Structure 1
Amino acid sequence: MGLKTFLGIKKYQWKKSVKKFITKVKKGFPQYPWDDFLRITEYFRGRELSSLPERAFLFRLSHDLPSDAKVVEIGSWIGASSCLLASGLKGIRAKMYAIDNFKGNASDCSARIRYRERMSKLKTDTTKVIFDKNITYFNLENRIVAIVNDSLQAAKSFCEPLHSIDLVFIDGDHSEEATKNDIALWLPFVKSGGVVVFHDFTSNHGVPQAVWWAIKQSYFSELMGIYGSTIAFKVS
């Protein structure tokens, strides 16, 4: 079997599994625009680390927000989750802030090595150009605002007032200290009753410890769901 044939079979199998997943999820959640989800999922095939249930959960959380909602994403990479979040939003004034240094900088040494390897495969030292290309492909330039900075500096100069953000998705530096800092920095921007989402909650990084710390601080009022390594809470 040639390489092209093998890749063709893999692509066919993947598309088949995605369509099967969407057929199933439509029965449970018929109110969502799953055609938009399918387009984005197919486009980012093989370039996104999260599972289909995780992506669908993120998409549903975004779509459930009020019209003209505002979303902040910490850690955007090439824009896969950015596109899912932004496409789920409703209203012409809805806004999505994608915060990333786009260079794979991380406090953890092993994480830095992994990012360097991924950068090497992409043949670039920044993913911003790829991010912009992906955002443009889905005509989301007017909805997504990229902030090229780390989380700390972005929070210091953020343009939106406190208690104005409907959802924050934390998927940046995965060390315990950095994740705690992200929580402390960005939680004040979230509305009461808003949503905070974490990726890699089940990883061997510092995310689980940081989330348990936040729970002990009574920062959250309700667990909204867990899908794979993605966990979401309603803010007190």
Structure 2
Amino acid sequence: MNTIKSAFNKINDYIINLLLRRNKFRDINKITTHLTIQEKYLLYKLSSKTTGIFVEIGSYIGASSCFISEGILTSKKQSKLYCIDTWENQAMTEGLKETYNQFISNTKQYKNIIIPIKDFSYNAIKYFIENNIKIDFLFIDGDHSYEGVKKDWDLYSPLLKPNSIVLFHDIGWAKGVERVINEEVKRNLKKHGSLPNLFWGWIKKVKIN
């Protein structure tokens, strides 16, 4: 059974690789990232089926932001993507460095979609509350500690609309992410799915429990 599953995954990866060689993906697929090819394509597909306000916590140098933005372009809807990051690499293994200019360069073709917010997520929340902005698509990929993930969920989940989608990256190794999903997130979802390192689900109610 494992052999069959492994063979299927290889075929699936091969097909996705072919898709990512299309012109619209060619340049953004070269951006350095920890995303797998399956995760890149999933971000694209889910965002292409969503309309409204997108929020990404932890954008690094823009690979995930580009795949989400490409999905928004495909949808032909008037959506916006807020990218929240300090762009000082606090959460990255290679250590502190300024990455904002690299992010802007990598995402320049989506400048009419992306709105960067250069701050910590716990400060950026004020902007959304003050402007009464509700969220249709929330991708949490910032501070991976339990405390950091829970704070992001506690702050941003009340802004999620019914039927909105929430995603968490690095579930495969970050125990804090996995714990928040199991303890706080799943009970608020009507359905969910996962890859080895990415979790997503659809919110079933307005009030988050």
Please give the range of the TM-score, normalised by the shorter of the 2 chains.
0.7 to 0.9
Aligned residue number for residue 152 of structure 1? 122
Q: 1:85 to 1:23 in 2, by over 3 A?
A: closer
Structure 2: gaps (5+ residues): 1-10, 205-209
- Contact 1:197–1:232 (CA under 8 A) maintained in structure 2: yes
CA distance in 1, matches of 2:50, 2:161: 12
> Per-residue CA shift, 1:147-198, capped at 9, x if unaligned?
0000100002226525x22100000000001101111111112110000000
Residue from 102, 107, 126 that aligns with 2:87: 102
What letter matches 1:105 in structure 2? Q
1:135 aligns with 2:107: yes
2:146 maps to what in 1? 176
* Residues 57 and 227 in structure 1, CA contact (< 8 A), matched pair in contact too: no
The aligned counterpart of 1:77 is: 60
Q: Take 1:56 and 1:65, find their aligned partners in 2: how far apart are those partners?
A: 14
Matches within 5 A, 1:113-128: 114-116=93-95, 119=96, 125-128=97-100
Report the counterpart of residue 122 of structure 1 in structure 2.
none
Give the RMSD, CA atoms, in angstroms: 2.6
C-alpha contact (below 8 Å) 1:37/1:56 kept by paired residues: no
Query: What secondary structure does 1:104 align onto?
Result: coil
CA distance in 2, matches of 1:97, 1:199: 17
SS state at 2:149 partner: helix
Q: 1:172 to 1:19 in 2, by over 3 A?
A: closer
1:92 is displaced (CA, Å) by: 5.6
Q: Deviations over 1:195-222 (max 9, x none)?
A: 0000001114411111111146x22221
Write out per-residue CA displacement over residues 22-76 of structure 1, whole angstroms, 9 at most, x where no aligned residue.
377x6xxxxxxx64234421x32xx11111111111111101113xx22000000
1:58 aligns with 2:43: yes
Partners in 1 of 2:12 and 2:119 — Cα distance?
A: 34
How many residues are matched?
A: 191
Partner Cα separation in structure 1 for residue 71 and residue 136 of structure 2: 13
Residue ranges of structure 1 left out of the alignment (5+ in a row): 1-16, 27-33, 120-124
